Structure 1
């Protein structure tokens, strides 16, 4: 059923009431027409940049797909050989490819084993800040994967972070500059940043009791969670994934096709599929691709339906908790209601 702008605005307002967060923003694009539900009378161009957390991973995945489409890398390239040629590693590490890293099938744990002792004293404020890039790389080169690469799906911030460092090493370009050159600038995402800039429009996260939190420092895990962006930029990013949208020259159209294509099955009973970088669930309106993220004091959801030209970004600046309705509500909004 086709819905008008007024009906879509009503659905966004209903979702906002269900979530009940005073700082909530929901941004919708349907066949190029945008609708916003913003807190406090704020205009879309006044919205701050939000921490994406794990919703940064689709940016890293698109970067990989763009480099592959341009012929600069292959999905099956061994990561260790690109990252540290000739360095002695365990045979299972030698078998890990770029595809394994981005699809969470590398066999690596969620985080390195030695991450937790140093992070615990700063767990609620800056757990990643003292685990820099060189330590992430060293942890990878001495790793012992839990499973043979390519045999099991296990979500891993560690793996995607290693991918970022590998892409930088393989191209001779820092990850931040590479993402800017290959993805952000070509898509016109000029309000998207990879470092905190609180004096230049960054949203401030909050604990459940309302106390503000410092900006997230991702240490050596940038590729897994460092992106910060505004609602309009996030809609632009999502719209570029929709087949009906005229894709720019860069990233190549083949890159967007690659990140939409289902690759593997995962979840309870293997009921759901996963693309190169998105979770992919069925719906009555066709497949829904999405990714959520949560930092110490912010939450974010990105999703799109390729078959209907619909994209949704939602965000708020409060800490996630077990009974929080944010993710369930916006997922249902995109999957069943819009």
Structure 2
């Protein structure tokens, strides 16, 4: 067992100095994570620093140029897409999903709106009832691949939410996937094209993709032992919940747009996804926006989201009060003792 490196002193909030202290702090964070490949990428007042490392030899594709699977952080992209489409008048967050997925309203759960789906208040379970049976043969590699878009929609139309929509928070990949199909049906446009046209292209995210690109473009994930590689994620009908993969630079570009929405063509949508929508948890102390978790810090709110796939992990977060954004990725399947998320969270909350 290797000792966890002692972190460098935290800089004053929002400071960058000459970059030496920043690099030292990021290097300490990279060294605190036990994974084959680790990248911490920071933007502070528009100045960037990216530091890489890991337990494996440097791969042929430089770590800071590879695309990483971001899993559930994809929901922040889908939520931004919803805000964008709502802002253009193409649809409303109060529209019921069944209106688009079964226009005749012959079946399907009533009362579940598009906003319920992205805020995890739809009453749907985390996954469809028959998901695990389908995923079982692929549970350690690509559990979502066998579950098609058509099956996701059918499962939704058969579902009976456990709770009345809008009354309880329960994290649901199922709900986010349904949202993607509802947006596609509402606009007669595939989710992938919608996201590219309304989010990726306007933000200039040329290092972001929605499907595997091969070893010349994508980082390779690893199982929990940190040694055995995992195949590239294939997401089946859950694209809107987990399909995005991106380079560290593109992740920072995405976050920087949230920090300075006034400079972006998506200004209204970026402001909308920062607006608190609900409180949850013990004492209702946890805040959820349309797409982000929001925690309080000494100087102001911090927005963040976590993601994981069968072989990779990611943390994305930003703080408007200090003009700071952080993306942290690693290529090892999540384990209870992993330090990527707590290290990244602490780093951003102290910056």
Q: How would you bin the TM-score normalised by the shorter chain?
A: over 0.9
Distance in 1 (CA, whole Å) between partners of 2:38 and 2:314 is 10
Counterpart residue number, 2:345:
331
- The answer to whether the 8 Å contact 2:64/2:247 transfers is no
Aligned residues, how many?
Answer: 332
Distance in 2 (CA, whole Å) between partners of 1:213 and 1:41 is 15
1:196 equivalenced with 2:212 (yes/no):
yes
1:225 equivalenced with 2:248 (yes/no):
no
Counterpart residue number, 1:248:
264
Counterpart residue number, 1:105:
121
Equivalences for residues 17-166 of structure 1 within 5 A: 17-39=31-53, 40=58, 47-89=65-107, 93-166=109-182
- Greater alpha carbon shift after TM alignment, 119-128 vs 97-106: 119-128
Deviation string 1:144-181 (CA, Å, 9 cap, x unpaired) is 00100000000000000000000000001000011000
Distance in 2 (CA, whole Å) between partners of 1:268 and 1:15 is 30
Equivalences for residues 179-190 of structure 1 within 5 A: 179-190=195-206
- The answer to whether the 8 Å contact 1:242/1:305 transfers is yes
Counterpart residue number, 2:5:
none
- The answer to whether the 8 Å contact 1:36/1:44 transfers is no
Distance in 2 (CA, whole Å) between partners of 1:18 and 1:185 is 35
Query: Residue 203 of structure 2: SS of its match in structure 1?
Result: coil
- Greater alpha carbon shift after TM alignment, 318-327 vs 148-157: 318-327
| Aligned-pair CA distance for 1:66 | 0.5
Structure 2 unaligned blocks of 5 or more:
1-11
1:214 equivalenced with 2:231 (yes/no):
yes
The structure 1 segments of at least 4 consecutive aligned residues displaced by more than 4 Å after TM superposition are 40-46
Query: Residue 185 of structure 1: SS of its match in structure 2?
Result: helix
* Alpha-carbon spacing, 1:41–1:318, altered in 2? closer, same or farther (3 Å): closer
- Greater alpha carbon shift after TM alignment, 120-129 vs 98-107: 120-129
Length-normalised TM-score, structure 2: 0.91
Distance in 1 (CA, whole Å) between partners of 2:185 and 2:257 is 27
- Greater alpha carbon shift after TM alignment, 40-49 vs 222-231: 40-49
Structure 1 unaligned blocks of 5 or more:
none
Distance in 1 (CA, whole Å) between partners of 2:221 and 2:186 is 35
Backbone CA RMSD of aligned residues: 1.7
Distance in 1 (CA, whole Å) between partners of 2:204 and 2:47 is 18
Distance in 2 (CA, whole Å) between partners of 1:309 and 1:302 is 14
Distance in 2 (CA, whole Å) between partners of 1:305 and 1:286 is 7
1:279 equivalenced with 2:293 (yes/no):
yes
